[in-house]
Structure 1
Amino acid sequence: MSDEYLVECKIDDDDEEEDEEELNQTPPPPLEFSTPSPHSSLYQLESRDPYGINQNLKVEFSDVLAEPASPHSCDRVWVYSGIGFESARIWSYRCLTLLLAVPVSLLSGCLFAWLACLHIWCVMPCVQVFHSCLPWVRSLWLSVVNIFIAPFCKSVARCCTGVYVTLSKE
């Protein structure tokens, strides 16, 4: 065997002590169970859309208004229109969020809490009951299929085996 297939593995005895210390530490609680601090990612102001959910809302002046090559308005009209658009967009958004952000976030929080409660206490127990009843439902369904549906489908298939379709252009 040539040396190109050999892999060098470094083994240090000092690393074992560090690994044991890391294993003895308790992990932090999951994010949904931890209390957010002002320094956590929930309250960070730099990245408010870390997963890029609202990429389609990044609208600029040139995305909405554009002049073709031949007719142009005055340069100052174009510049002031862009300033007016950006100012109206930013300040309208700020005013609307000032009025609606807290109530909508409270309603959204209540909605998601209601959905979580419904899922935990209603949907999942019904799914578990269905899974426990599934074996006898499956055997009943197989019996119905084998007694009624399968013979009917076989009869229709035998009737259709003698049918030939030919296509011709006239």
Structure 2
Amino acid sequence: MVDLVNRDPNNINPHLQCQFEDVLAEPDGTHSIDCVWTLSSICFNCWKGCCYKIMTLLCGCCIAAEFGCRFALLSFIHIWYFTPMLKIFQINCGLCKNIYTQCINCYIEPLCIAIGSIFHHFKK
């Protein structure tokens, strides 16, 4: 069910919380007439709300559909392409690791043991 009261439950857009007082402010000593300040606040909030509602009415469903398709495509690509390719990579890396380990155990380890035993006989 869609929550019609809390429409940003994950707090994704805190940077967009903008009120009249966040945009316009008159410092002490520079004040307009009280009715102008009050009407400016009303106009700001009215136009901000109306324009947002009109834009969402005209574009909201289309944009939501577009992003729904994009996320469906993203999920599809990850499920049917990237995850299997990662598994192939992991299998091949496991094979390379086994080959590398065998080469180290067969060639490098005996050489290091032989060289170590030569130096083992040297004493102070």
TM-score for the superposition, normalised by structure 1: 0.56
Q: For the aligned residues, what is the CA RMSD?
A: 2.0
- Aligned partner of 2:89 in structure 1 is 130
- Aligned partner of 2:25 in structure 1 is 66
Give the length in aligned residue pairs: 103
Per-residue CA deviations over 1:114-166 (Å, capped at 9, x if unaligned) read 000000001000100011011244467898xxxxxxxxxxxxxxxxxxxxxxx
Instruction: Note the residue ranges of structure 1 that are not aligned, 5 or more in a row.
Output: 1-39, 144-170
**1:152-167 matches, cutoff 5 A:** none
Per-residue CA deviations over 1:28-59 (Å, capped at 9, x if unaligned) read xxxxxxxxxxxx2xx23122111111111110
- Aligned partner of 1:105 in structure 2 is 64
Secondary structure, in 3 states, of the residue corresponding to 2:31? Answer: coil
Equivalent-residue separation in structure 1 for 2:83 and 2:94 (angstroms): 18
> Which amino acid in structure 2 is aligned with residue 108 of structure 1?
F
- 2:19 matches 1:48: no
More helix by share: 2
- Aligned partner of 2:37 in structure 1 is 78
Per-residue CA deviations over 1:84-123 (Å, capped at 9, x if unaligned) read 1000100000000000111001001000000000000010
Equivalent-residue separation in structure 1 for 2:99 and 2:77 (angstroms): 30
Equivalent-residue separation in structure 1 for 2:52 and 2:96 (angstroms): 55
Equivalent-residue separation in structure 2 for 1:65 and 1:138 (angstroms): 64
> Which amino acid in structure 2 is aligned with residue 130 of structure 1?
F
Q: Give the fraction of aligned pairs with identical amino acids, expressed as a percent.
A: 35
TM-score for the superposition, normalised by structure 2: 0.75
The 4+ residue runs of structure 1 with deviation greater than 3 A are 136-143
Instruction: Note the residue ranges of structure 2 that are not aligned, 5 or more in a row.
Output: 104-124
